[in-house]
Structure 1
Amino acid sequence: MRVLHTADFHAGRTLRGFDRTPEIHAALTEIADLARTERVDAVLVSGDLFDTANPSADAEHAVFDFFLKLRDAGVPGVVIAGNHDSAARLDSVTGLLGWVGIQVVAQPTGNPVQMVRHVDTKSGETLTVGALPYLSERRLVKAADLLGGDVGAWRQKYREGMGFFLRRLGEGFRPGSVNMLMAHATMDGAVPSGSERTLQFDLTNQYTLSGLQLPAGAQYVALGHIHKPQQVGEVPLACYPGSIIQLDFGEGGEKKQVNLIEVEAGRPARVHAVPLSSGRELRTVRVDLDQVEARLSGMRDYAGLLKVVVRAPAGTALPGLKDRVLKLMPNTLAVDLDALQEDLVAPELKREGLSLTELYERYYHERRGELPDDVRAAFREAHDRAGREEEAELAGVPA
């Protein structure tokens, strides 16, 4: 049996206001073509189909067109929701996607065995997939623990909750079937990309899974959530295929891929990385102020997207700097000063003691620029409301 594993499409992603969806659509078309030319029996998608819970029409078209291309190639698939996806939204189209051979597990159920999917393949063998969509820490860790426990206790609570689902999914494996597990989670030892979106990872990386929790009967564990391709477990074999294009400048230079798994029932799986060529290359260029024109003039043939970091003495006035850079390199998405870049190099030093609102302001500035007052007010309102809900939950009264 040949199974193609992919994840982290993030359809609808914008980078500094630049829509990456056309590139993502092209990458999905490339993956669908690979599914056909490599004669795969099934495709596994381990979450984060979309970048937001309310994706654009273009983002939905890119993803659903991918599923239609798989249908045309006669290739079935199994999909789980990631933390960026709206589980309810995916749940609402489960029936429709089933008509084109795509089985979706968007939300966990009270009986995890119902989250096991069986796929009859062209090889004649059955593929059994224990599918675990993203489970938020808030669902698995009580507010009392968050308010009063130490970090080690939070992690243990999370692992215990996830362990319950993983054990029950393993009980759904069948003798004589190819058995795989899918999950959208962070494994111990996983190495994230150097993405600009480090804020999310900084706030959630205390919640990880141990490889010892993975069901022993799984011949392959198809993971999503980490954008850097990597293997994180030997027994059972567990891998992240990574994102399908370079999504942020921190992923610049990473070679993107999908995983092709060859496996038979009861035999060890073999994994082959299949490179992807779609998506524009991202590159960060650091240059001294007096060398801007000389350095960028030599890059006129570069077809990717640039982030230019200009080194200048503190307090230097730089009127018209962005226009100077864009005149030389119109494909530049960001022009930053060296002081801003230092905040990315040592985030643990720069973020210490900052409030959640201040952290969000920095995050927004790195992606889009200055935070508008109405967005700041909406964020504070949402943060305050979440605090009131947690306090009400803790007290056992309606919010």
Structure 2
Amino acid sequence: MRVLHTADFHAGRNLRGLDRTPEVHEALLEIAGLARSEKADVVLVSGDLFDTVNPSAEAEAAVFDFFLRLRDAGIPAVAIAGNHDSAARLHGLAGLLGWVGVQLVAQPTANPLDLIRTVETRGGERLTVGALPFLSERRLVKAADVLGGDVGAWRQKYREGMGFFLRKLAEGFRGDSVNMLMLHATMDGATPSGSERTMQFDLMNAYTLSPLQLPAGAQYVALGHVHKPQQSCEMPLAYYPGSVIQLDFGEGGEKKQVNLVEVEAGRPARVTPIPLTSGRELRTVRVKLDQVESRLAALGGFDGLVKVVVQAPGGTALPGLKDRVLRQVPNTLAVELDAVQDDLALPELKREGLSLAELYERFHNERRGELPTDLRAAFHEADEAARGEAEEVVA
């Protein structure tokens, strides 16, 4: 059996005012073509089909066109909802998508065995997939526990809740079937992209799963959520294929891929990454103020998207800087100023000795206004727990 595993389309992603949906659509057309050329029996999509809970018509068209092309090739698919998707919206579409061969699991039910999906391949083989969509941490851990209890305790509650579902899904595995697990979650030790959403990942990363919680009966675990392609576990074999294009500048330089999984019932799976070529390359360039023209001239032949970070003394007024950059590199999406001397010139801006929670509070106050009390409490509690864990490691 040949299974093509992909995830994290994020159709509808907007980067600095630029709609990336046409690039996502291009990548999905490439993946559909690979499913056909690689003679895939099934395609697995591990969540985050869309970038927002209310995607544009163009984003929906890109995703639905992908599934229609799989239908035209006679290739069934199993997909789950991710944290960026509207579970309710996708649940409402599940019936329609079923008519084109897509088994979409968007919401858990009272009976976890309802999350089991089976596919009979053209070769007569059976694939059993334990399909677990993204489960909001708030559903598994009450807010009161987060704000009032021990951090280690609410993290453990999340693991226990997820563990319940994983154990139940494993009960649906069959000895005469290829058995796979699919989920949208963060595994311990997962390496994120150098994303612009690093704070978001840090918060999300408080809720992680241990590889020890993955059922041993799964021949392959199809993961989604982390955008950097990587193997997460060897026993059972678990992989993140990553996002289908470089979605933000933090992913610049990453090579995107899908995974081809070759497997038969009762035998170990073999995984082959297949590189993707779609999507514009993203690049971040750091230049000193007096080298803007000379350094950026070298990007004349680069047809990707650029973020330029200009290093200049703090307090320097730089009228016309963006125009200077755009004259050199018209495909620049963002020009940012790195006032490298601010911390030295103004004692009140020094960051040394501040905790993560204090740094975040300063950031929030400057950019979004006063930090809400409940969020401040959660950050301080998480910071104290992190310090405690670090002290234990040192000890």
Q: TM-score, normalised by structure 2?
A: 0.89
1:314 positional shift = 1.1
Which residue in 2 is equivalent to 1:390?
none
Cα offsets for 1:272-320 (capped at 9, x unmatched): 0000000000000011111101111221110000000001111111000
Following superposition, the deviation at residue 337 of structure 1 comes to 1.0
1:229 and 2:245 are equivalent in the alignment: no
Structure 1 counterpart of 2:267: 267
Q: 1:51 corresponds to which letter in structure 2? A: D
Conserved 8 A contact 1:351-1:359: no
> Which among 342, 352, 355 is matched to residue 357 of structure 2?
352
- The Cα of 1:123 is off from its aligned counterpart by 2.3
Question: What do you get for the CA RMSD once the two structures are aligned?
Answer: 2.5
Structure 2 distance, partners of 1:177, 1:141, is 34
Cα separation, 2, equivalents of 1:119 and 1:226 = 26
Is residue 297 of structure 2 the alignment partner of residue 297 of structure 1? yes
Which residue number in structure 2 is paired with residue 38 of structure 1?
38
Q: 1:196 matched to which residue of 2? A: 196
- Equivalent residue, structure 1, for 2:381: none
Within 5 Å, which residues of 2 pair with 1:1-399?
1-339=1-339, 352-353=357-358, 358-359=363-364, 362=367
> Alpha carbons of 1:6 and 1:356: their partners in 2 closer, same or farther (altered >3 Å)?
farther
Deviation at residue 352 of structure 1 after TM alignment: 3.1
Task: Report the Cα offset of residue 199 of structure 1.
Answer: 2.2
Per-residue CA distance 1:97-118 (angstroms, 9 max, x = gap): 0000000000011100000000
> What is the distance in 2 between the residues matched to 1:255 and 1:128?
30
Distance 1:177 1:347, change over 3 A: farther
Q: Equivalents in 1 of 2:45, 2:19: separation in Å?
A: 22
- Between the aligned partners of 2:352 and 2:167, the Cα distance in structure 1 is 37
Q: Partner amino acid for 1:308? A: V
- Determine helix, strand or coil for the equivalent of 1:335: strand
State the shift of 1:353 in Å: 1.9
Q: How many residues align?
A: 368
In 2 relative to 1, CA 320–93 (structure 1 residues): closer, same or farther, beyond 3 Å? same
Secondary structure, aligned partner of 2:3: strand
Change in CA separation of 1:349 and 1:66 when aligned onto 2, cut-off 3 Å? farther
Show the counterpart of 2:389.
none
SS of the residue aligned with 1:93? helix
3-state SS of the aligned residue for 2:358?
Answer: coil
SS at match of 1:353: helix
Code of the residue aligned with 1:353 in structure 2: it is: E
> Is contact 2:313–2:339 with CA below 8 Å preserved after alignment?
no
**Which of structure 1's runs of 4+ aligned residues deviate more than 4 A?**
346-351, 354-358
Cα distance between partner residues in 2 of 1:134 and 1:348: 37
Q: Quote the Cα distance in structure 1 between the aligned partners of 2:353 and 2:94.
A: 41
In structure 2, the CA distance between the partners of 1:25 and 1:130, relative to structure 1 (3 Å rule), is same
Q: Are the structure 2 counterparts of residues 355 and 228 from structure 1 closer, same or farther at C-alpha, using a change threshold of 3 Å? A: closer
Structure 1 position 205, deviation (Å): 0.8
What is the percent sequence identity of the aligned residues? Answer: 75
Structure 1: gaps of 5 or more residues: 363-370, 384-399
Quote the offset at 1:144 in angstroms: 2.9
Change in Cα spacing, 1:327 to 1:32, as seen in structure 2 (3 Å) is same
Query: What do residues 42-97 of structure 1 show as CA deviations (whole Å, max 9, x unaligned)?
Result: 00000000000000000000000000000001000000000000000000110110
Q: Matches of 1:72 and 1:360 in 2, distance apart? A: 53
Instruction: Specify the code of the residue in structure 2 equivalent to 1:196.
Output: E
- Name the CA distance, whole Å, in 2 between partners of 1:166 and 1:360: 41
Greater shift, 194-203 or 302-311, is seen at 194-203
Which secondary structure does the structure 1 equivalent of 2:299 belong to? Answer: coil
